[in-house]
Amino acid sequence: MATGASSSRHFTANMPPPSKLELTDRVSIKRNWLRFQRQWSNYAIASRLTIEPEQFQVAVLLTCIGDDANDVLDGMRLQDKKETVF
């Protein structure tokens, strides 16, 4: 590393994110989830997202997963370690 160079990490993704999670076909939801999960895992590793803070990883996931999946999440009651999300 050159003298004076920054040692900070930067998230860069030179690849497209995974396709959004398709929820419109109820028969295929499980297959679509498994596909999204595999794509997400590969994307997170290849883009080095896995070395970023968890909060950042979650924000990227929620951005990639799509509006339909976010609507489902908004309708669920999830309990966080610190607070309840409605």
**pLDDT band for position 9 (cuts 50, 70, 90):** low
Residues 70, 21: Cα–Cα separation, whole Å: 10
Average pLDDT over residues 19-35: 91
Q: How many angstroms separate the most distant Cα atoms in the chain?
A: 58
Share of the chain above pLDDT 70, in %: 74
User: How high is the pLDDT of residue 14?
Assistant: 75
Verdict on whether the full-model pTM lies above 0.85: no
Please enumerate in sequence order all residues whose Cβ is within 8 A of that of 77, keeping only pairs 6 or more positions apart, or say none. Answer: 84, 85, 86
**pLDDT band for position 57 (cuts 50, 70, 90):** very high
Please enumerate in sequence order all residues whose Cβ is within 8 A of that of 22, keeping only pairs 6 or more positions apart, or say none. Answer: 28, 32, 36, 66, 68
